[in-house]
Structure 1
Amino acid sequence: MNPNNNLQRFAIVLSMIGIAVASRLLPHPPNFTPLAAMCLFAGAVTISPRIMAAAVIVAMLVSDSMLGFHSLMPVVYGCLLANFVIGRKLLGANANAMKVVAGSLIGSVLFFLVTNFAVWVAFYPSTLTGLAACFTAAIPFFQYTLAGDLVYSGLFFGVYALATSGLTVTQGKLQRVRVPVRTGE
């Protein structure tokens, strides 16, 4: 697969979005979902940021229409779009394993802080005790958020790297495919 082929790149990203939405609908531990990783990935590898940002919102709307909406959905959507920006600015076309881990960690912590601050404002007493209670109650969910973001980011970026590496499996053996390079004519 040629990573410079826009149609192939777009097909890969859309396929991963479909997988992400489907897997979000399956039973899973709380907050162990592929959506933040999908946004990070889409931000890093897309050709058209507007189209992919819209695709992320559509993916969320489709899955949330089946799972249900709540009053803090704009905050959740905003945090997920922040992962898109992290992918675009931090990772870009030069993503490597260390940058993917860093982007996942930044996105997870940002999501934890922002969404739980919104939960505190909406549902807890407006005191330091209320803030502490809110964030303490959120800690068990954070471990799943962090694990899900790291696992799914590794999966998305790993599959993409393999798909665009020119490697194929032939007769049970991994082989590199030589892609002809066009020279100036």
Structure 2
Amino acid sequence: MNRNIFALTLLIILSAAARFIPHGYNFTPIAGMALIGGAYYHKKFFAFLVPLLTLYATDFVLNNTLYRSFFPDQEGIIFFSSFMLYTYVGTAAIVLIGMGLLKKVTAPRLLGSAVFSSILFFLITNFGTWASGMMYPKTGAGLAAAYTAGIPFLSGHLISNIVFSFLLFSAYELIIKRNLSTVSRMHL
């Protein structure tokens, strides 16, 4: 495996550990992981697989430990829950944003991609909450109520997406530049 791909994969996996540290609502690295995967994996399969599999692994642990009380009707191990579907669709959409908007990574493009990702994720996941029919009536007013109720969670997601995106992209660039300088010195 190419060292850059190994470093990228390791960075995504390690950043997912932030989900296990106490944090504010939606202040997690997931969107940043999806953006960097979309931007830097040359094979589309890995661009989707690594962030989504990492998200699933952390969801699996969290749903069966910390969030277990949210599943009172489910016995045994929780492998998947219906609410996760829209989260994964939203995350896959963020990978696509990374692929499309970050072919050339610049600070303004990264900022724009992080903001756009947050808004799109908000729209997808709150639509999913409404579509499930469990919390809101399936009416226009119900959809408006779902989006209104989601607004307090948007700010945490937006801020974390910007912070983690810049941290992940900066860390990756530092790793790559360090590897390149090491290779250059070895050839002198």
Question: Hey, what's the Cα distance between the residues in 2 that align with 1:133 and 1:74?
Answer: 20
Structure 2 residue aligned with 1:84, among 92, 95, 108?
95
Mark the runs of 5 or more structure 2 residues left unpaired by the alignment. 64-79
- Could you say which residue in structure 2 is the equivalent of 1:141? 153
TM, length-normalised to structure 1: 0.82
One-letter code aligned to 2:161 = D
Question: Hey, what's the Cα distance between the residues in 2 that align with 1:129 and 1:81?
Answer: 28
Structure 2 residue aligned with 1:29, among 20, 24, 31?
24
Give the C-alpha shift of residue 179 in structure 1.
2.8
CA contact (8 A) 1:166 1:179 kept: no
Q: Number of paired residues? A: 168
Structure 2 residue aligned with 1:160, among 150, 154, 172?
172
One-letter code aligned to 2:170 = G
In the superposition, relative to structure 1, how do residues 59 and 166 fare at CA in structure 2: closer, same or farther (>3 Å)?
A: closer
- Could you say which residue in structure 1 is the equivalent of 2:3? 8
Question: Hey, what's the Cα distance between the residues in 2 that align with 1:13 and 1:154?
Answer: 14
What is the percent sequence identity of the aligned residues? Answer: 32
Structure 1 residue aligned with 2:46, among 43, 51, 57?
51
**SS class of match (2:102):** helix
Query: Could you give the per-residue CA deviations for residues 56-87 of structure 1, whole angstroms, max 9, x where no partner exists?
Result: 22212211111125312111111101111111
- Could you say which residue in structure 2 is the equivalent of 1:108? 118
One-letter code aligned to 1:23 = A
Question: Hey, what's the Cα distance between the residues in 1 that align with 2:10 and 2:42?
Answer: 15
Question: Hey, what's the Cα distance between the residues in 2 that align with 1:112 and 1:42?
Answer: 20
**What's the C-alpha RMSD, in Å, of the aligned pairs?**
2.2
Give the C-alpha shift of residue 102 in structure 1.
0.9
In the superposition, relative to structure 1, how do residues 72 and 34 fare at CA in structure 2: closer, same or farther (>3 Å)?
A: same
Question: Hey, what's the Cα distance between the residues in 2 that align with 1:13 and 1:166?
Answer: 14
One-letter code aligned to 1:85 = L
- Could you say which residue in structure 1 is the equivalent of 2:130? 120
Question: Hey, what's the Cα distance between the residues in 2 that align with 1:89 and 1:105?
Answer: 14
CA contact (8 A) 2:118 2:157 kept: yes
Question: Hey, what's the Cα distance between the residues in 1 that align with 2:183 and 2:142?
Answer: 61
Please state which structure has a larger fraction of its residues in strand.
1
Mark the runs of 5 or more structure 1 residues left unpaired by the alignment. 1-5, 169-175
One-letter code aligned to 2:160 = G
TM, length-normalised to structure 2: 0.81
